Structure 1
């Protein structure tokens, strides 16, 4: 285990009789165990903050004759990120195990093993599958996933209420989790969209864009047209998750 690692949760490994997904390149040999592919978090990004552990599934498809009895799963990430565990079959078709790493500084911990900022990005999955007769096969890079630092956004529109046709200011702040300090810090130089939702609608529409300054702050002036909600929307990056601010209602008066 590296000094830094990934917050990983339940790994559900589907084994004997599961079959190989369409388009996958199975690894194995005739008459022996076969590994298909690994799917992490049901195909979604894994996004981690600073205060809670994160749990997510890792599913590996495969088959064996005799039935597979175990799978060792390795997760490999940037800058030496590595975690491993083994899954022993609870039934003839499935095994369950757990990866657990703190995403935050545990109370009383002097030197916790946790995430580091340099480990955000693309991770891959290796799997070693074995059968009851001792036969095994190792499959490298059978899956991948994005491990991202959590982001959060705030928004504030003022002054309010505002007269129709008048201009008002929408501010906000974009922050992301710092896995080295267990805090959220301003995210500099990111393009964020400003969105508006009329009071009688459920749909937000992008009306402008702005770029965060050195402390992650946002500032833009807009023209009041109708009652509704204003929010900032950040799409995320390869290392940072997406974030949306809770809409701030602005009362526009004649």
Structure 2
């Protein structure tokens, strides 16, 4: 049985629906050869600002592809059509790629649970010869809670080989309260980029304290930039603070 909406809530251009999850079904030689979500980049949502991302699906059939329907779903209550329809381009006689844009708004998320669950691209593909494919798991992706970091190194300037204190704070979006909240108990890397170079190197790793507070000391040996860096988790995005420049004299 194909998906049918049970309830609808309008959020901007999105229709959000409760749904059932039937098994994938194929009739003929129609196949999906590629799915790209957000250009392959990490997808993270802040506490208030909506996030728009693109999804592209490429399908193939020996007779050619007639049309596609694409949705993004979160099991139990989200079933989203593209905000502005799909743009489809044929690549030869057998293959077609369809792309659309989806906007997620925190007003459609009741709590932080959607960061724990997999999101899916659902695709229905019709071929010219009548073959078709319905896939509820054409691709799996995550929508993570957006993380943020600050960094402040003191004193500035600092005497060469003297102790430098680097403070900061790790926070992440709370979709329930619509605010950023401290993220404690996380391993966060302190990184340094020497003046005149382009790459940061990790100096040490610190665990964020209550409220996401970060604090450590290092020895100042060269002019350069200090920052904190958080590696993404299954629920929370990557984050890097703006480098704080310290003049060593």
Normalised to the residue count of structure 2, the TM-score between the two structures is 0.77
Secondary structure in 1 matching 2:210: coil
Match 1:210 to one of 206, 226, 230: 206
Which range is displaced more, 65-74 or 221-230? 65-74
C-alpha spacing 1:237/1:91, structure 2 compared with 1 (3 Å): closer
Q: How many correspondences in the alignment? A: 226
Secondary structure in 2 matching 1:52: coil
C-alpha spacing 1:238/1:44, structure 2 compared with 1 (3 Å): same
Unpaired stretches in structure 1, ≥5 consecutive residues: 10-25, 104-111
Match 2:114 to one of 107, 114, 119: 119
Secondary structure in 1 matching 2:214: strand
Secondary structure in 1 matching 2:156: coil
C-alpha spacing 1:183/1:126, structure 2 compared with 1 (3 Å): same
Decide whether the 8 Å contact of 2:194 with 2:224 is kept in 1. yes
Q: Deviations over 1:174-228 (max 9, x none)?
A: 0111111111111110000111111122221111111111200000011111211
Q: Equivalent residue for 2:93? A: none
Q: Equivalent residue for 2:26? A: 28
C-alpha spacing 1:76/1:173, structure 2 compared with 1 (3 Å): same
Q: Deviations over 1:71-126 (max 9, x none)?
A: 23233336x352232756766545454433323xxxxxxxx424631101432222
Q: Equivalent residue for 1:201? A: 197
C-alpha spacing 1:135/1:203, structure 2 compared with 1 (3 Å): closer
Unpaired stretches in structure 2, ≥5 consecutive residues: 15-23, 91-95
State yes or no: 1:101 paired with 2:104: yes
More strand by share: 2
- Aligned positions of 1:155-174 closer than 5 A: 155-174=151-170
Q: Equivalent residue for 2:49? A: 52
Decide whether the 8 Å contact of 2:53 with 2:102 is kept in 1. no
C-alpha spacing 1:33/1:151, structure 2 compared with 1 (3 Å): same
Q: Equivalent residue for 1:248? A: 244
Decide whether the 8 Å contact of 1:129 with 1:138 is kept in 2. yes
Q: Equivalent residue for 1:142? A: 138
Match 1:185 to one of 161, 165, 181: 181
Secondary structure in 2 matching 1:215: helix
Tell me how far apart the structure 1 counterparts of residues 129 and 40 of structure 2 sit (CA, whole Å): 33
Q: Deviations over 1:222-242 (max 9, x none)?
A: 111121111111111111110
Q: Equivalent residue for 2:224? A: 228
Normalised to the residue count of structure 1, the TM-score between the two structures is 0.76
Tell me how far apart the structure 2 counterparts of residues 37 and 202 of structure 1 sit (CA, whole Å): 34
